[in-house]
Structure 1
Amino acid sequence: MTDNKLIEVNGLKSPKGAFLLGHLPQFNTYNKHQVLERWVEECGELFKIHFVGKQFVVSANPDFNSQMLRLRPEVFKRFSKIDEILKEMGVDGVFNAEGTVWKRHRRPTAEALSVKNIKTYYPIILDKTKGILEKFKNYSQLNTIVNVQKEFMAFTIDITTEIAFGHKLDTINNKSNSFQKHLEVIFPMINSRVTAPIPIWRYFKRKKDKILDESLKSIEKVIYEFINDAKKRIAENPKLKEQPSNFLEVLLVENKDENFTDEEIYGNVFTILLAGEDTTSNSLSWAMFYLAQHPEIVAKVRREAREVYSKDTPDTYENVEDLKYANAVAQEAMRLKPTTPQLYLESNEDVIIDNVSIPKGTSIILQNKVAQTHDDYFSNPNSFVPERWIASECPMQKNHTPNVMRAFGGGPRYCPGMHLAKTEMTVLISTLCKYFDFKLEVKPETIREQFEFTMYPENLKVTFIPAK
């Protein structure tokens, strides 16, 4: 992509595929990202694939990807099939909105999740951190083998629901909580439907489709109850119009200017729930995967925690800003194991990027993980080295390219929940390392990357050992 010759999409290389079905048989539902990584090795940073005649461009070039992300939402949008599937599920909010509609949704969402408001929400994060700390202390006393991904999901759900609705769900201490079980159904089904060549569910409901429908109905019922309760609170307490206490109240207060429908409010709240619980809990799980293999890093996080705060957890948001090494652990986990290793876009118009001619309507997959683990951008790219994120400690600063990171997307449509996610991760990593050492109860090579719209560690089992 460096010479001046115009490259047409049809002229791009392509991995070997099957007759008629193309590359669909190889594109396994649960390891799409790893298939793409293999194809990058085979075909280079830019190539094409097709599923039953539907063509996709795949890019693993971070500069090329960055240009496309910067041109959203005018020139590129999210893959239209994702929008179609989400709307079928009743989700019509900031995540899948486009153009001027997205801008209307974005402003109140970004304001509700701004750094200023994260400071306001910090007592909620602190409360849930204390709750899961006590639970892990009990596990430690009983020498219980813990499925940390499930526990971290409960932690993030409790934070997200209280920030979103002002409702204390207490999933951390309630294993039978049906709300978490319903949420867990959503992402795997989005993942399987995005690349399905035929939308079978529209003509015939299989068992998994019926389970999804029941989960969506249950979630919808709960969220609309919260919406009605919030409307009543605001009507009874005019002060909430000046200082709303949660995300839902912000949307309802902003409604006089933005004129959101109840369906749009529902869609935005549902989006925050899905994005808030899944990506953060999976990133925390990957951080634990590495911490359990690096006791020297755990010890360093512990020293920092004991220097910064004296109580069980970081008392103030200002404490969090001083937890630079715990934050670096989170950053390094997101670099090596991004929960969103790929993004799906579609061109709104004909466009040329780096001499590549992309016609209107072209579907594009941005493969981000390859660059994040490539020695062109990071020294010792496959090693877990949190120090690389701290300039004063980094032994490899000359080969450190953080702008290829796509943990929170990029361009104007970067994830508005970035500050919340980083705060949750930093606080919990610091707190757990302060009190525990960690032992993997399975061999590292048996912990597999599973992709269900986000990537999580399958079979991650850990025991918590009291720190000395």
Structure 2
Amino acid sequence: MATIASDIFYYFLFFIWLITAFLVHYFIKTIIKRTTPMVKAPPSPKALPIIGHLHLISSVLPKSFQNLARRHGPLMQLRLGASTCVVVSNADVAKEIFKTQELNFSSRPEFGSSEYFIYRGSRFVTAQYGDYWRFMKKLCMTRLLAVPQLDRSVEIREQELVKLLESVKTRAREGEAFDLSRGLTRLTNNTICRMAMSTRCSGTDNEAEKIHKVVKDCLMLAGKLSTGDILGPLKVLDFSGNGKKLVSALNYFDQLVEKIMKEHEDKASSGAQDLTDILLEIYRDPKAELKLSRNDIKSFLLDIFMAGTDTSSAAMQWAMGELINHPQAFKKLREEINTVVGPNRLVKESDIPNLPYLRAVIRETLRLHPSAPLIIRECAEDCEVNGCVVKAKSRVLVNVYAVMRDSALWRDPDEFVPERFLERAEERIGEHQMEFKGQNFRYLPFGSGRRGCPGASLAMLMMHPAVATMVQWFDWKVKDSDMVDLRQGSGFAAEMEKPLVCYPSMHLSS
């Protein structure tokens, strides 16, 4: 009983201290605001003391921001506890951020979990715009994710797709449900692991599975810590213990990747190079434009897994969910595949240019369900955007979810209509070529400008054949329902709220 009373007293004191800290912070900001010359700040909803606009935000952040933007405009300022951000919600303002003032918004802020990342200072995805970031981006474009490197790994992607096909066939013959969420995630994880490290989910060590688990843990913990930004300075106290858990997960990843790197260093040189081989080659090169550390290599590999595995898998799940819920589109895609490819072989990457409806399905899926619905940037210097002053060091969130569902730009914006990407196709060839480079500012599935996703080409190479194969070979019935539940999950992520579990039945004979 004494222990319980002591705990209650401790929590009571902590609660009093927490409220006091918030009040002091609030009053200091109020005083500073009153003594600062007035500038035209972005419009903002009415805020409550301490919590700011948290009471207006639901668990699905992109949709919450979209709803607020409809009332407060395409550029608005929100305060989430101790954290303030500027939210962009239409194509014209996004163009200001990504093109007109691109250099001023070419960096990304540290937030949430950054102080717990053991590779802090080596992260490519969140690096400040500077020499290190420019070197790594150039390396991605010329070697790591360049067309020749992607061409060399085409066999890996084909082999992993065949393994997925065989696992679905097995379930179909046995009349059992297949978890497409898990199957497609294993496809992307094995593919990226083999391309990056020449390892997959097989053998006794099962290294690829270990990597995916630890990366999944890192994403989950980093997301939880990012929401801790609302506590301001108090977040460093790590009341939840998630910071320590993240450090532990990262240390495990570090040991695992260090072992793989040493294996690469010990093996005899061969003609084929995976991403780790290329990075180690630059690490050993005394004449390299910029000296890479081992932490730089590990951090880059972690970024590849965090940015590529679950996001590509989620996009394929959304595509299958939309197709199952739209049987006419499903049938139209299957007919195109049968006409162009035939029933006797799998769709290959080389077939994609000849399958316009397949390309339209993927484009429409990414419009409705972008893999990165919120793109975060940092303002380097005070500037004017959409007639308002955005202060230096402000966090800017571009809500591409809202941009790509803007009724002023898209007809029936919330409907799955792949045909919209086939209209006047002959007249829009140039536009289609630019879409994934983010130069069409109403369509930004992979961001735009210097900080656009360098892995977009790889993601597209994985998505098209996988979705085509699942449509070509199988009919699908939703488990425990007539329709796929297309509700979006919580937080910053783009996953479905519920796993996509369906009963496959063979359409083609094996």
For residues 54-73 of structure 1, what are the structure 2 equivalents within 5 Å?
A: 54-70=83-99, 71-72=101-102
Distance across 2 between alignment mates of 1:322 and 1:280: 22
Q: Which residue of 2 aligns with 1:43?
A: 72
Distance across 1 between alignment mates of 2:247 and 2:305: 17
Structure 2 residue 42 is the aligned partner of structure 1 residue 12: yes
Distance across 2 between alignment mates of 1:180 and 1:457: 18
Give the CA deviation at 1:259.
1.1
What amino acid sits opposite 1:283 in the alignment? A
> Which one of the candidate residues 404, 414, 419 is aligned to 2:442?
404
User: Unpaired runs of 5+ in structure 1?
Assistant: 1-7
> Which one of the candidate residues 250, 263, 267 is aligned to 1:229?
263
Distance across 2 between alignment mates of 1:58 and 1:415: 20
Structure 2 residue 409 is the aligned partner of structure 1 residue 377: yes
Q: Which residue of 1 aligns with 2:419?
A: 387
Structure 2 residue 275 is the aligned partner of structure 1 residue 247: yes
Please give the TM-score of this superposition, normalised by the length of structure 1: 0.87
Distance across 1 between alignment mates of 2:192 and 2:492: 19
Q: Which residue of 2 aligns with 1:5?
A: none
CA contact (8 A) 1:341 1:455 kept: yes
Residues 285/393 of structure 1: CA separation in 2 closer, same or farther (3 Å cut): same
Q: Which residue of 2 aligns with 1:324?
A: 356
Deviation sequence 1:23-50 (CA, Å, 0-9, x none): 234445x422222122112212121111
Give the CA deviation at 1:136.
0.8
What amino acid sits opposite 2:87 in the alignment? V
Larger Rg: 2
Please give the TM-score of this superposition, normalised by the length of structure 2: 0.80
For residues 66-465 of structure 1, what are the structure 2 equivalents within 5 Å?
A: 66-70=95-99, 71-72=101-102, 74-81=104-111, 84-85=114-115, 87-88=117-118, 92-98=122-128, 99-111=130-142, 112-170=144-202, 177-196=209-228, 197-198=230-231, 202-204=236-238, 206=240, 208-233=242-267, 236-237=268-269, 245-255=273-283, 256=285, 257=288, 258-310=290-342, 311-315=344-348, 317-392=349-424, 403-441=441-479, 442=481, 444=483, 446-459=485-498, 460-465=500-505
Distance across 1 between alignment mates of 2:399 and 2:355: 31
SS in 1 for 2:376: strand
SS in 2 for 1:457: coil
Give the CA deviation at 1:307.
3.1
User: Greater relative contact order (Cα 8 A, min sep 6): structure 1 or 2?
Assistant: 1
Structure 2 residue 507 is the aligned partner of structure 1 residue 467: yes
Residues 354/12 of structure 1: CA separation in 2 closer, same or farther (3 Å cut): closer
Give the CA deviation at 1:53.
4.4
Distance across 1 between alignment mates of 2:326 and 2:188: 24
Residues 334/73 of structure 1: CA separation in 2 closer, same or farther (3 Å cut): same
Deviation sequence 1:299-324 (CA, Å, 0-9, x none): 22222222333544234x32233232
Distance across 2 between alignment mates of 1:335 and 1:374: 11
Of 258-267 and 104-113, deviating more is 104-113
Deviation sequence 1:170-218 (CA, Å, 0-9, x none): 49xx899443322222222222222312376743464655543443222
SS in 2 for 1:338: coil
SS in 1 for 2:107: strand
Deviation sequence 1:418-442 (CA, Å, 0-9, x none): 0110111001011111101222233
Of 388-397 and 409-418, deviating more is 388-397
SS in 2 for 1:80: coil
Please tell me the root mean square deviation across aligned C-alpha atoms, in Å: 3.0
What amino acid sits opposite 1:110 in the alignment? M
Residues 444/10 of structure 1: CA separation in 2 closer, same or farther (3 Å cut): farther
Give the CA deviation at 1:156.
0.5
Of 68-77 and 375-384, deviating more is 68-77
SS in 2 for 1:57: strand
> Which one of the candidate residues 48, 51, 55 is aligned to 1:21?
51
What amino acid sits opposite 2:506 in the alignment? P
Q: How many residues align?
A: 450
What amino acid sits opposite 1:250 in the alignment? I
Give the CA deviation at 1:374.
2.1
Distance across 1 between alignment mates of 2:189 and 2:249: 16
CA contact (8 A) 2:156 2:191 kept: yes
CA contact (8 A) 1:440 1:462 kept: yes
Q: Which residue of 2 aligns with 1:3?
A: none
Taking only the aligned residue pairs, the percentage that are identical comes to 20
User: Unpaired runs of 5+ in structure 2?
Assistant: 1-37
SS in 1 for 2:415: coil
Give the CA deviation at 1:75.
4.2
CA contact (8 A) 1:36 1:367 kept: yes
Of 15-24 and 335-344, deviating more is 15-24
CA contact (8 A) 2:197 2:274 kept: yes
Of 421-430 and 82-91, deviating more is 82-91
CA contact (8 A) 2:312 2:459 kept: yes
Residues 114/295 of structure 1: CA separation in 2 closer, same or farther (3 Å cut): same
Give the CA deviation at 1:265.
0.7
Distance across 2 between alignment mates of 1:175 and 1:451: 29
